[in-house]
Structure 1
């Protein structure tokens, strides 16, 4: 083969591989709601030749599904799920060095590049301003256990929601089960984390705990709600995206993860009021700077390691 023919042949192979990576299909498990849908839409606009199927559900449900499908994966990508769930299930994900890896700090990348940080879902209290006067607001996690808030608090079930488990883990790391049990006694629980801020916004209940990204849009839409950051600290934590181990559509899974990690996709996250983990992406307009929010060092490894035991104890208390 002449050098010229060799170059042409190599070019054809490279172009063929590129084309294959931009055709076919990819299945995305999306626990991130509208933010995830924006990323999916952005990917489809950039790669119209790839057919995207989406399964929308909570983190708990999707991780249960992935565990059940471990020997025959039906999904290719999990998008923006809580990091604790990844740490508790390291064998479910494939190692991949993303083309965007240089834009992420090491502390938001999983072992062997198994997952990459997405956003920082700082937790806050959402309060209905029509139902409580400002001097009646809870100001700390410990406050939520005060009997004066009995029947005035809604939380998501931590067995079904990754963010709700993170809330429980933060309470346990700060105070232990005494305060956690007091909060449980005051609360009713929903199966969906979205129901928490929606119920407070509709005036069905006074207080909820949710990601801060859910509160700003409700204020903008005219709902009588406000955000209260706990004075005893909200944990610095993140959610993440990964390729499911054994993904059937591996080339497109890699292509999707690279896009989900890109500055373009993280700007879409910011447009939904989420804080990006990428240092080159500014915080959303209207959100308090992280430096002004009381935080504490959240031990995500401990939260993941203790997850099964904590949830078993929570279920036992809930049953009572």
Structure 2
């Protein structure tokens, strides 16, 4: 999940900077996308979509899942965006009224579990939360093997996590640990860990060798390995959930017809093949193979993850996290 606070504007002609709170500048035919995916993948989406829709300008405002949802809530009575792209499904489930029902032309290509029952959102990718290990700093035989291992004294100061209030993937990690072990274990993990403001830093700092171990989405490890970094993924043996990242049309957005065309493109096989090749993610489509190098699902202990209950519990769990974090 991308949590970089950069904002960029993509048009047919150029990419430029725009302040996060600036009012989008509309063209005659525009679609405004609030994006939590990587800049590289988003630009590939924009370029491919505009080749198919040369009369439509795509304006992209990038940020973390939490800040983008906050913006959409603030704009509820006067929406300025058309699409929310890339957050975990529980981000959408936390306030489904913000999003419009739309049965995409590509809906049949998705497993029903990857599509919200009222078609408020569709799956983009699926991924597991894992440990990313810098093998130059920590040999694989010395890594934690389970979430609970993170409480061990030998890992104090050696574990990097993103703040779950600012990162959708970090909240998924928090919620999974709480489901398995409750706050007694989570409090000890918080005491052992170092926290950063974005999920991007939680894997990039490991790849750079600043700290041995981090918690991240599996595709971030594969991307880092492709860049030549000495990292490996460790899947927790006590289980990790297959999380759906999704996309949706914002209710009452300014460009509803362009939004439908963009969602149909994002749900297309062409877009999902870009997602696999560029971001190394597992596609939520049934007809797109996962990227080479990812551990097969059959070799992973998978635990359930209820996005609706995660969304319902989020405020309470984040408040409790803040209490523990303030004691560090």
TM-score by length of 2: 0.88
1:211 and 2:217 equivalent? yes
Query: How far apart, in 2, do the equivalents of 1:81 and 1:237 lie?
Result: 10
Name the counterpart of 2:283.
Answer: 276
**Aligned-residue CA RMSD (Å):** 1.3
Q: Could you give the per-residue CA deviations for residues 114-170 of structure 1, whole angstroms, max 9, x where no partner exists? A: 100110021111001111122211111111121211100111110011111111011
Cα–Cα, structure 1 residues 171 and 36, in superposed 2: closer, same or farther, change >3 Å? Answer: farther
Alignment of 1:305 with 2:312, yes or no, is: yes
Contact kept, 8 Å, 1:36 with 1:80, in 2: the verdict is no
Separation in 2, partners of 1:301, 1:178 = 24
Larger helix fraction of residues: 1
C-alpha contact 1:100 1:261 (8 A) present in aligned 2: yes
Q: Structure 1 residue 299: deviation in Å? A: 2.0
**Do the aligned partners of 2:133 and 2:140 also contact (CA within 8 Å) in 1?**
no
Query: 1:310: how far off?
Result: 0.4
Question: Alpha-carbon deviations, 1:58-113, whole Å to 9, x = none?
Answer: 00010011111111111100112110111111111011111111112222212321
2:179 equivalent to 1:185: no
- For residues 43 and 202 of structure 2, the distance between their equivalents in structure 1, rounded to whole angstroms, comes to 20
- Aligned residue number for residue 72 of structure 1: 78
Most deviating of 260-269 and 127-136: 127-136
Which of 29, 35, 54 is residue 30 of structure 1 equivalent to?
A: 35
Deviations 1:27-85 (A, max 9, x none): 10110113333323321232222111111100001001111111111110011211011
- Number of positions where the alignment pairs a residue of Structure 1 with one of Structure 2: 299
Taking the aligned partners of 1:168 and 1:265, their CA distance within structure 2 comes to 30
Any idea what the Cα deviations from partners look like across 1:250-291, whole Å, max 9, x if unmatched?
A: 110000000000111111111121001111111111111111
TM-score (norm 1): 0.91
Unaligned stretches of 5+ residues in structure 1: 1-21
SS of alignment partner, residue 283 of structure 1: coil
Aligned to 1:291: 298
For 2:254 and 2:168, how far apart are their aligned partners in 1? 26
The reply on whether 1:63 has 2:69 as its aligned counterpart is yes
- The structure 2 residue matched to 1:97, chosen from 103, 108, 120, is 103
**CA shift digits 1:156-210 (9 cap, x unpaired):** 1100111111110111111111111111111111111101111001111110011
